[in-house]
Amino acid sequence: MADRVLVTEQLAPRGLDALREAGFEVDERLGLSPDELIEAVEGAAALIIRSATRVTAEVLDAGSQLVVVGRAGIGLDNVDVEAATRRGVMVVNAPQSNVLSAAEHTIALMLAQARNIPQANADLKAGAWNRSRWEGVELHGKTLGIVGLGRVGVLVAQRALAFGMRLSAYDPYVSSDRARQLGVQLVPDLGDLVADADFLTIHLPKTRETIGLIGADVLARAKPTLRIVNTARGAIVDEAALAHAVRDGRVAGAALDVFATEPTTESPLFELDHVVVTPHLGASTAEAQDKAGVTIAEQVVLALNGDFVPFAVNVAAAEASSTVRPFLPLAERLGALFTGLAGGMVDTLEVTYEGQIADYDCSVLTLAVLRGVLGPVVDEPVTFVNAPQLARDRGLNVRETTSSSARSFVNLVTLRGQVGGRAVHVDGTLVGRDDEPRIVGIDDHVIDIPPASHLLIVRNADRPGMIGRVGMIVGGAGINIADMRVGKSPSGEAAMMALTTSSTVPTELVEQLRAEPGILDAKAIELG
């Protein structure tokens, strides 16, 4: 009997045909409830989904014969990848299926905003010939500010050049050399980019740092000719602040495809004549849907046939040696911590493995480090397969070294680099019989703390009362401190505190800490 492939959401016909032609039984069941999914997945060799189906640990447990889960699209928020990896189930996606569609939709919205096309169309169909009312502007000669130079941002930049636009960009995680290759001028400050731009397009992932990034303070820097286009994630733009700026004439207009809450039919932006909106159509092209269906079918066929799968998210984890595999979660979290501390992309990332693990192939650990480093800053899932290319796209050089001897530890993983002349460093290891992950060094301060989901790193003057003051401020804000450790500098000063908290530390609290006498800096870092 042929292996059964369970398809729970609409897939392009060409994708379904490709599965059948490869000899697999296609079991198409749309609109399953969670309980129905658990029943249907029993005995299936593959499960293909889009964004609506949630693949939980319970679903994976029920699918005891699953070899692969395929997501026909980019995002993997609805798949428990960690649980799949534990069960040895491969997870694959179609990461490049909709980037071209998203870039073209950005250009379409830019043109629609510049020439008031939807407004003029609605007026004329309503019987009004308002030729003078909807006078527009040209793209030629205007400055396009690009926030985020990932795959979509680069495609938009390439197309904008054909219109004769001048390109500037804000992306702390792209090297200046890479930007020059693209014909883009990097601007180190977002406010400066907004102040200079005639058009602003946003191409960022939704993270703690990017939510509300385009808010009232940034919009206050805008020229009155600025037009904003967002096809990335809705929460990145403060809709109320943008509506206020457009209404007051501080911003000329906006075009949005995404919103903080979706689906939605209400927003202060919908009331404004100079705002163009679409219902999250960035990936909604026949070509993108077809590419996603065909690509995911190809990946599933390769997985079921035991061949190399180029878009596998977790394949390398399963292939790591038994000695190296326990270090994978630590390596990824060290990478995320490194990016949080750096606040920008280093030119060269030095990854060093010391001790017993240095006698093994640690390349998969370096891939895990890159997943952590790049995950918070790119607009697509970072996998063990695409991580090296994403690093190259951003001008990041990676240098891996090994040493059989380790300082004070049986094994040690170290990340080092420089951002703007400032050194960034983290150390991590596994301790005890249970291989408990620990962060043991931050920026050359000796420390010992678990890599928890929510970290608060505070740099302070070495004087009495600092620990108590930080604890009072954090606790007074209703944030529970799970663990708190003091790190010592090479000279012995207690000049750093690392706290793990039970919930995310809000930006306002970080700013309050930074304003305290004796506190030199504070960073809240999410490790996932």
Q: What is the CA radius of gyration of the chain?
A: 25
Weakest mean pLDDT among 200-204, 248-252, 310-314, 429-433: 310-314
pLDDT at 382: 82
Please report, as a single letter, which amino acid is at residue 511: E
Proportion of the chain above pLDDT 70, given as a percent: 98
Question: What phi, psi does 419 have (nearest 5°)?
Answer: -125, 115
pLDDT at 209: 84
Domains in the chain, CATH or no CATH each: 4-96+287-319 (3.40.50.720), 99-277 (3.40.50.720), 328-526 (3.30.1330.90)
Which of 4, 233, 394, 445 is catalytic? The answer is: 233
Helix, strand, or coil here: 432? coil
Q: In three state form, how does the secondary structure of 127-169 look?
A: CCCCCCCCCCCCCCCCEEEEECCCHHHHHHHHHHHHCCCEEEE
Are 351 and 357 within 8 A, CB to CB?
no
pLDDT single digits (tens) 400-414:
999 987 677 889 999
- Torsion over CA: 167, 173, 174, 175 (sign): positive
Task: Report which of residues 97 and 203 the model is more confident about.
Answer: 203
What mean pLDDT is reported for the chain? 91
Rounded to whole angstroms, the Cα distance separating 505 from 188 reads 25
Are 149 and 179 within 8 A, CB to CB?
yes
Please report, as a single letter, which amino acid is at residue 29: R
Q: Give the mean pLDDT of 319-347.
A: 88
Q: In the chain, what's the furthest Cα-to-Cα distance?
A: 81
Strands 185-186 and 166-170: parallel
Strands 143-147 and 46-49: unpaired
pLDDT single digits (tens) 14-27:
999 999 999 999 99
pLDDT at 221: 96
Task: Report which of residues 104 and 234 the model is more confident about.
Answer: 104
Weakest mean pLDDT among 149-153, 204-208, 511-515: 204-208
Q: How confident is the model at residue 351 (pLDDT cuts 50, 70, 90)?
A: very high
pLDDT at 407: 72
Whether the pLDDT of residue 493 is over 90: the answer is no
221 is catalytic: no
pLDDT at 316: 56
Neighbours of 104 (CB within 10 A): 19
Element (H, E) at 224: none
What is the token pair recorded at 442? Answer: 């931050």
Question: What phi, psi does 392 have (nearest 5°)?
Answer: -65, -40
Q: Cite the beta strand spans of 94-162 per DSSP E.
A: 143-147
Which residues on neighbouring strands pair with residue 413, listed in sequence order?
A: 353, 428
Which of 280, 325, 469, 485 is catalytic? The answer is: 280
Whether the pLDDT of residue 325 is over 70: the answer is yes
DSSP state of 305: T
What is the token pair recorded at 142? Answer: 């205007």
- Torsion over CA: 324, 325, 326, 330 (sign): positive
pLDDT single digits (tens) 251-302:
999 999 999 998 899 999 999 999 999 999 998 899 998 999 999 999 999 9
Are 415 and 349 within 8 A, CB to CB?
yes
445 is catalytic: no
Q: How confident is the model at residue 318 (pLDDT cuts 50, 70, 90)?
A: low
Are 212 and 240 within 8 A, CB to CB?
no
Which of 28, 262, 287, 436 is catalytic? The answer is: 262
| Contact residues for 325 (Cβ-Cβ < 8 A; gap 6+) | 317
Are 414 and 352 within 8 A, CB to CB?
yes
| Contact residues for 470 (Cβ-Cβ < 8 A; gap 6+) | 458, 460, 497, 499, 513, 516, 519
105 is catalytic: no
pLDDT at 86: 80
Task: Specify the residue for token string 């995310």.
Answer: 504
Half-sphere exposure of residue 197, counting CA atoms within 13 Å on the CB side?
A: 33
Proportion of the chain above pLDDT 90, given as a percent: 70
Rounded to whole angstroms, the Cα distance separating 109 from 101 reads 12
Rounded to whole angstroms, the Cα distance separating 242 from 489 reads 45
Please report, as a single letter, which amino acid is at residue 396: L
Report the predicted TM-score, pTM, of the whole model to 2 decimal places: 0.79
DSSP string, 369-420: HHHHHHTTTSSS---TTTHHHHHHHTT-EEEEEEES--SSSSEEEEEEEEET
SS percent in the chain: helix, strand, coil, step 5: 35, 25, 40
| Contact residues for 511 (Cβ-Cβ < 8 A; gap 6+) | none
Please report, as a single letter, which amino acid is at residue 41: V
Q: Give the mean pLDDT of 32-48.
A: 95
pLDDT at 126: 95
DSSP state of 326: G
> How far from each other are the two terminal CA atoms of the chain, in whole angstroms?
41
Q: Give the mean pLDDT of 330-335.
A: 95
Q: How confident is the model at residue 379 (pLDDT cuts 50, 70, 90)?
A: confident
Rounded to whole angstroms, the Cα distance separating 236 from 29 reads 35
Q: How confident is the model at residue 319 (pLDDT cuts 50, 70, 90)?
A: low
Neighbours of 412 (CB within 10 A): 22
Identify whether 388 is preceded by a cis peptide bond (ω within 30 of 0): no
